[in-house]
Structure 1
């Protein structure tokens, strides 16, 4: 049973105010994404306040898009691909990266830490695209923050943690976690997990961070989601270690990675392709984040040499397509020599590479390394339990999904048939193995496996189609809420946002203000210079309005020359200040129309919610009356009828 995280010590550390925490725009993003009523347009506006985060978000979204699909190019598209929870966690991770690149802990290599964390993030995203144990975007953030406990200790105790790391450097046999517990009454594993929990990361993602350095401790069942996530974090850290290690260490590190990827159901060719993609993206991310990266290792050569070392000669490099086309490998656990020779001859004649093993223990190891599509197990009365245990072990492993187990049984033996049923084999052959009968039986097995692979490909295509359809639907929904000329939220979005903010204002007793902004003399510009010039001016003034507002303000085009601005948590005095700033910004702006010189001004009416108002329409109407009064009294001014009435 996994013990809960002890949050008492964490609460004490948090109270000191020294823990690494998000800053700037990241705080606004996290606050918005915690609300059930936040809109994509509202979140996009806040994100655009941090150009660096915009680039990182778009890059992360493109990591989820198939290579032959159109790239994500805008914040709105990135939000549709990633979803709100992933955006929140990414904002958190990238904020920590931006503000904790350096620190006072002399023994802690901040550059190496963030390069390793970035590699883990990219590797976790790539792994989840294959094993599908978690959302790939969540996995990216998980990899980026998996070692945040070490950063926290370096921040909280720079001198003491530096001495601890130096001691470990001089004596690698020391256990870092034990030393941390003695020195700080906590360790980086528990502290990192507590921080993720405090930031709202789901527990199913927190526990792998807690246990990936000691995957045997939690005792998760083989094949469970939790076990798979822990193993993926172990593998992503191994990829990071290899990429940052000296070239002389590469081949030694590659072998264990191949074995672990096999346990996760990833074939050698696929895993090498995954690593090569990680290497490419590491360089791209490094430039974007201004982190030091190095030339990626030659994973293809490393994979081939490591595979030869473990005895896998059945899959030459680059054979992924051939492997998908038809089964290529068989594993024989057949003690009887004559039977084994007959099977080998028939299988090789059918074009399969054959591996033979003499015991169930060796058969498991060989199955992990070779990843066969067919496994033949001969039942023997004196060793029935061993063969049965082997078949059951295969059932508990992920690679069991991609192979068929065929039992070789004596003819008319009830005990053998009972063994077949209890062990869970997929099919059987009866002794003696005749040439023609064996060939016909193998043809049926190979056909069934081909159909199984085809079915899996169709399922994958359906999953990809469903994902693409979901993205398309979200894009259509976003387009329906966006004004095509200015790119601002349209009238429909404005009414939905007003309804949400109105309800929230009443429920939480918050202030709520709105502005109605009318462009002065837009009709005269259209009549004098044409609608094309008017449209240019309208687009450019829209951008001026957007820049003049605060991050929490929601700017919408209601139609024609009228805009609505929703200002949550804003009283009358504050909204008048914002409106005056907005008016002055438009007055000082000269549109670049490529022709006539124009001077633009706006008339603004503002209003705040009062207890007696029956609905948000009353609030908008009051602001509209203020804008009308501003036009009637000379234009280029701000009027708040509530202030005038007071």
Structure 2
């Protein structure tokens, strides 16, 4: 169950001045970007006061445009690529990174925290470039700050939080958030959400932080933008965990990652490609920031080794158990006669010896523990198929052990046989309600025990067979999803230019319209028309026309910002969708596109005039009832540009201002 959060408690912490907060140039940037009339020149002047942030800002911008245009080399270019919201959030994130690299909490690994957070930032950014869940530059900051609540608790309560972390490492069946709430009446998630809201991040970015550790509680449905944002963050965090995890912990993480990626339409092939790109970017960043890098995995090799179909079977709630090893139900392809792991938890050495003598006659690998607590630790480590537990033991009773084990995902599929001398029906009913599958009375009768074990073994074998069948279905579903995605991409892609086609454009601008309605943030669009294109076709033939279209498309692609979406909607017409962009920024972008095509110098082999475009720009305003009105206003801008001599960028909404 989610914990209630007392907001007044946060206000007291905020008033104390102990919460992590931006400083220096970052604070000036945040205050400056809160002004509606701030210019790029003013912002660039402030940013240049922090050379370290300048380098990080340009590096972040190049991470977005590296595959689509020439490198960014100046602050002004970085601002054009990233936009004000992303620059503001990056200033916040990097200020915290610079000022909170050390602290008094001995149990909190500060550099490892930032290394993992940076991996998450890059992962979310790269995934967003592929599934278009949101602006990649803003999602970079979302990944970087999603765990800022942990840093806050370590900063405010260093000694107490060190004890909480030690307890979480010792008892992996317990959730960190439960331990935090018990100690502080709040969790790191509560703090992160409150801090991000206080810093002015939009609600659409804060909600994924509230839910990414428990995505099953989200009311959003597949196909919506809220769902895509949430599961893009979940996938990005899993990639970060994989980058920082030990070898033994990776199979379980990989299983969850493949399924989560599939939920946002990223198949295993694309995931392998994205993972390799993320690792390359991450290594570059951690070196420049002097953070620990560890040994990140080769995602392509890991996906092949782990098995895409098998990995897709893990459930998103596996992390809730707190365990780091793979699910026992996912043990690959065990033959019917393979060894079964059995754990005996019994404080009497004589009884353990008697049980061992019965078990060693069959194909069992036997493990032993002398009390409930060590039995729980061993169960999480070895993941037994069968568990034989005494009812009464020191430190943790058999009933408590069974309840704790059943609360974890690893313990859900274990067949549990209770050893007891109880004969009261009420106590036995309590044992079955706690999660016992069967019981054997004491003193033990070897033949009866063997019969009960065979019954349990049949259940284990049936579970394994069922899992193998599920794996086959998952593997087939994963392959089918890849094929369907490729077919969908073909159906939504213009073959000549490689841009999305009109069908995609209409769906996407409708999505952005709805997102703008929810967030209240601006939405602009551009319609681009190639000047005198019909004359080129009529005079020089369609081959020359196709060459002009391809060249113009390449120039437009290279000049776009990372957050913009360009589509070919007709013969010589293109639509550019500019989320969270006001009219002045859209006009600047449109002029950059016009200039890029104008500088081509292409003349189709000397047979046609120089190529140019006319650009019409429009921004959503209160008088527009729907997307059609916005596109019509941009179309009017194109006609105005044609009337004024072509090779121009115009906006009807700017006329008369």
Q: TM-score normalized by structure 1?
A: 0.52
After TM superposition, give the deviation of residue 487 of structure 1 in Å: 3.6
- What's the offset of the Cα at 1:347? 1.3
SS at match of 1:349: coil
Q: Which has the larger radius of gyration?
A: 1
For 1:569 and 1:634, locate their aligned partners in 2 and report how far apart those are by CA, in whole Å: 30
- Provide the C-alpha distance between the structure 2 equivalents of 1:538 and 1:455, rounded to a whole number of angstroms: 54
Structure 2 residue matching 1:6: 3-state secondary structure: helix
Q: SS of 2:360's equivalent?
A: helix
Give the superposition deviation at 1:365: 4.6
Alpha-carbon displacement from aligned partner over 1:482-541 (angstroms, at most 9, x marks no partner): 433334343334445666778899999999876543323434444565544432321221
SS at match of 2:600: coil
The answer to whether 1:443 aligns with 2:440 is no
Pick the aligned partner of 1:345 from 353, 357, 361: 357
CA contact (8 A) 1:605 1:638 kept: yes
Change (3 A) 1:545 1:206: closer
Q: Deviations over 1:249-283 (max 9, x none)?
A: xxxxx9xx99xx8xx9979xx9xxxxxx9999878
- Report the CA distance between 1:12 and its aligned residue: 9.0
Residue 401 of structure 1 is aligned with which of 409, 412, 415? 412
Matches for 1:261-280 after TM superposition, within 5 Å: none
Correspondence for 2:340: 328
Deviation at 1:444, TM superposition (A): 3.0
1:344-493 superposed matches below 5 A: 344-378=356-390, 386-408=397-419, 417=428, 420-421=431-432, 424-429=435-440, 438-456=449-467, 480-493=491-504
For structure 2, the residue ranges without an aligned partner over 5 or more in a row are 35-56, 70-83, 124-139, 160-187, 214-236, 257-271, 298-325
In 1, are the aligned partners of 2:419 and 2:440 still within 8 Å (CA)?
Answer: yes
1:285 aligns with 2:282: yes
Partner of 1:249: none
Q: After superposition, what is the alpha-carbon deviation per residue over 1:543-579, rounded to whole angstroms, capped at 9, x for unaligned?
A: 4345667788764422111234567899999987876
Task: Output one character per residue of 1:15-47: Cα deviation in whole Å (capped at 9) or x when no partner.
Answer: 9974857979xx99xxxxxxxxxxxxxxxxxxx
Pick the aligned partner of 1:544 from 542, 545, 555: 555
In 1, the alpha carbon distance for the partners of 2:562 and 2:276 equals 37
Residue-pair matches, total: 483
State the partner residue of 2:195: 195
* TM-score between both structures, scaled by the size of structure 2: 0.51
Give the RMSD, CA atoms, in angstroms: 6.7
Asked if the contact 2:286–2:292 (Cα under 8 Å) also holds between the matched residues in 1, the reply is no
Whether contact under 8 Å (1:118, 1:143) holds in the other structure is: no
Considering Cα pairs closer than 8 Å and 6+ residues apart, tell me whether 1 or 2 has the greater RCO: 2
The residue that corresponds to 2:600 in the other structure is: 589
Which residue pairs with 1:6 in the alignment? 10
Q: CA deviation at 1:197?
A: 4.7
Relative to structure 1, is the Cα distance of residues 424 and 462 closer, same or farther in structure 2, using a 3 angstrom cutoff?
same
**Alpha-carbon distance in 1 for matches of 2:426, 2:589:** 86
Q: Structure 1: how far apart are the matches of 2:388 and 2:544?
A: 77
Q: Are 2:614 and 2:646, in contact at CA under 8 Å, matched by a contact in 1?
A: yes
Q: CA deviation at 1:426?
A: 0.7
Cα deviation code 1:343-400 (max 9, x no counterpart):
31231222323234444455445444544332223568x99x9544444444445542
The CA distance in 2 between the partners of 1:327 and 1:203, in whole Å, is 46
CA deviation vs aligned residue, 1:451-477 (integer Å, no higher than 9, x gap) = 223434555676777777778767766
Q: Distance in 1 between matches of 2:296 and 2:527?
A: 61
Q: What pairs up with 1:490-569 in 2 under 5 angstroms?
A: 490-496=501-507, 516-526=527-537, 531-545=542-556, 555-565=566-576
Counterpart CA distance in 2 for 1:107 and 1:149 is: 11
Change beyond 3 A, Cα 1:504–1:378: closer
